[in-house]
A and B are shown apart, each in its own frame.
Chain A
Amino acid sequence: MLQEVFAALEEWANERSLKYRNEGLMPLGHCLIQVVGQTALLEAKLDIHLAATADVDVHQQIEHVFRKKLEELLQEKGKFLDPVGHEAWMPDETKYKTIFKGRYVEGAIAEPEYVLISKALKAPKRNKELLIDYLASNPSDLFYALAKKYKISLEEFLK
């Protein structure tokens, strides 16, 4: 779903920039969209039970003109861009996987370990079942290292 949206955004940015150039105006700049939250987990295709509402969380602020078009494209897919998604806490060292790269638009999803650490630290109650399921599915060394760094007591989820 996200790749389709990013591709449509790229197409729009191409057309818009061409029009601006023809009018002697500045073309659009580069737009990096970093998706976090449940949408990023769903895209990562983990073997755990995952439900996500129609919210899409984008980590950092994106330029207004791109944001508005992104909202419109997501709505066509029945999704909503979370207006406060950029306020969500993510570890400083979060790594993102690029899933679309165009001339104007680059779309990426946060690697699942960083999303899960964010959930474990900031919304443990809401994500308890999700984390139990993940802990039972042979978590990566990276997940344990991040849990240690951010002083997350994983035992708490198993009480």
Chain B
Amino acid sequence: MKRAELEKLARKKAEKLRAKFSDPRYKKVIGKFVAAGLLEHNKVGAYRGHITLDEVIWVGQIEPRVLELLPAIILRRPKLIDVRSEIPEDLRLLLIQLRKGLAIDDFRGIAPALYLPWVNRLGRKAAAPSVLKTFRFQRKDIEKINELKKRTGLNETEIIRKALQSL
């Protein structure tokens, strides 16, 4: 197919697609995910109203990133979506697998490698999480830490925490 022909066909397809982008369901669902800090979108602003599972699944056909987030949201932030309607069988089975830590199947074309990380990320406690810090110690400091590890049975973080508390 020639370039002009290809672009003409693409414009026709994109017209249909843009009609879907203008659909209130698209704006609501994407906006809700934007408001929750789960998605960033260059054309849809935050929406803080009510969205249903049916709407999320409909939008997932146009924007698969919504489906990547869906299992984790139902497990970790269930208040975000109204799931009073019946949960589709494939999603219900996936949620059971996730709760057992056994999810290995694709979900509507989305590989576990794409939806699984969100289950852990959304499960993190927001309040006062521990923060990773890197320090450069001298050899004698390392030797001292190792000696304290053997003597007290504490790990390195706990030893440094105790030392800070004693100062």
Residues of A within 8 A of B (CB): 20, 23, 25, 38, 42, 45-46, 49-55, 64-65, 68-69, 71-72, 78, 80, 84, 125-126, 129, 132-133, 135-139, 144, 154-155, 157-158
> Residue B112 at the A interface, CB < 8 A?
no
State whether A135 touches B7 (Cβ < 8 A). Answer: yes
In the complex, 8 of the A-B residue pairs with CB atoms within 8 angstroms, ordered by the A residue number, are A25-B136, A38-B65, A45-B42, A51-B63, A71-B132, A84-B113, A126-B109, A126-B110
Q: Choose among B42, B69, B134 the residue that contacts A53 (Cβ–Cβ < 8 A).
A: B69
Report yes or no: B6 in contact with A129, Cβ–Cβ below 8 A.
no
Q: What number of B residues sit within 8 Å (CB to CB) of A?
A: 38
**B contact patch SS:** helix
Q: Is the CB of A49 within 8 A of B10?
A: no
A-B pairs, 9 with minimum CB distance: A136-B14, A135-B10, A136-B10, A78-B37, A136-B11, A50-B42, A52-B40, A51-B41, A132-B13
Q: Counting CB contacts under 8 A, is B39 at the interface?
A: yes
Cβ of B93 within 8 Å of any chain A Cβ, yes or no, is no
- Please give the distance in Å from A105's CB to the nearest CB on chain B: 16
Residues of chain B whose beta carbon lies under 8 Å from any beta carbon of chain A: 1, 3, 6-7, 9-11, 13-14, 17-18, 21, 30, 37-44, 62-66, 68-69, 109-110, 113, 117-118, 121, 131-132, 134, 136
Question: Smallest CB-CB separation from A71: which chain B residue?
Answer: B132
